[in-house]
Structure 1
């Protein structure tokens, strides 16, 4: 667990919490009895599950189902808020990991719920506040900030090599030759195991690393070069195609998040 863990009243199907994680903090594989929504105010959290990786930059959140085994890695000094929710609280709660947008209303509701330190009275303001949180988390927009992992050991090893050498040009034909298979075979297996075309997966891996590096205040030029782009403009064009934001737009979001 991180530092300065605080929470609202626990004995209710929904309760809010806040927690800080220092740079490089690791939480090894674990799970929770409740659903967990983590919203980052500063820093970046990487969530690893057996299905893949989710990157949560400032202002976003990650939804982790109950009993879902996961591990965390923080980049930068992370300030986070969130809620824990009993699975029985609603039949409409999703049961898969996803990165979500966290609107201003939900951010304020979580801050208010942190102040609840007494038993919840029926039909009280506090009960209505927590029920409104439950309503809001069921309509959070999902964001494509995840990188699915393949299941076969051979493709898992390939993906690890790609993530460790993102500056290289990973095209389908050359990569297939390295594996001593045809490009059609690699494309078919990769699509089947990850749900993404090979080239899309590589771009997504670069985007997610860029999100971490940019949030850590790494210059755009350095990010571009480290990811194999000849210029910041080429990197920015790719980043915008994949995220609908320029790197500058992405960074400007952080300044508006209250800490």
Structure 2
């Protein structure tokens, strides 16, 4: 997944309306080449979670994927994995290339997008993810994606 800027979005819209059998030497072909060039340099969207192979760390990540609103502190998760907080933090970063806090925030963004795609209300998603108010959830979502939850799929 990539972050699509307004120019690239406009190019995608324009190209999607084109006839598939365009002149290979004409302006439509050149427009497609510009779109391809734009897509190649787009930054990755921060919307994916790395696969975790370490069984101790995976125990924690799978639980949080099922219960993303679980707000237990890192001490709880370290104990669940059977290690000290420091060891857990070190091993978590090695397994995910993210800190526990970064991964947890990323999980909430991914789960929020899944909920929005299913048509869940912003309030329902906010409470499911452990936010006290929809506005605090919306603030996090805007910081992470650049868009409000209600405008994300527009």
Q: TM-score higher than 0.5 here?
A: yes
Aligned residue among 2, 6, 9 for 1:103: 9
**In structure 2, what is the equivalent of residue 254 of structure 1?**
153
Whole-Å Cα distance in 2 between the matches of residues 134 and 231 of structure 1? 41
How many Å separate the matches in 2 of 1:130 and 1:221?
A: 40
* 1:134 corresponds to 2:36: yes
Q: How does 1:163-178 map to 2 (within 5 A)?
A: 163-178=65-80
TM-score between both structures, scaled by the size of structure 2: 0.81
Question: Which residue is 1:205 aligned to?
Answer: 107
The alignment yields a C-alpha RMSD, in angstroms, of 2.3
CA displacement, residues 158-202 of structure 1 (integer Å, 9 cap, x when unaligned): 211110011211321111111220000010011122111102211
Specify whether residues 109 and 185 from structure 1 end up closer, same or farther in structure 2 by C-alpha distance, changes over 3 A only.
Answer: same
Q: What's 1:160 paired with?
A: 62
Q: TM-score, normalised by structure 1?
A: 0.51
Quote the residue 1:82 is aligned against. none
The answer to whether the Cα contact below 8 Å between 1:206 and 1:227 also exists between their aligned partners in 2 is yes
The answer to which structure has the higher strand fraction is 1
Count of equivalent residues:
151
Question: Residues of 2 paired with 1:156 and 1:211: CA distance?
Answer: 22
Partner deviation per Cα, 1:58-97 (whole Å, 9 max, x = no partner): xxxx3xxxxxxxxxxxxxxxxxxxxxxxxxxxxxxxxxxx
2:49 alignment partner, SS class: strand
**CA deviation map 1:92-135 (0-9, x unaligned):** xxxxxxx23142123312432xx2237x65x3445434333332
Tell me the equivalent position of 1:32: none
1:224-235 pair list within 5 angstroms: 224-235=126-137
- Structure 2: gaps spanning 5 or more residues: none
Contact 2:56 2:82 in 1 (8 A): no
Shift of 1:213: 1.2
Query: In structure 2, do the counterparts of structure 1 residues 125 and 233 end up closer, same or farther at CA, with 3 Å as the change threshold?
Result: closer
Q: 1:205 deviation in Å? A: 0.6
8 Å CA contact 1:109, 1:129 repeated in 2: yes
Aligned to 1:116: 20
| Aligned equivalent of 1:9 | none
Q: Distance in 2 between matches of 1:126 and 1:243?
A: 31
- SS at structure 2 position matched to 1:135: helix
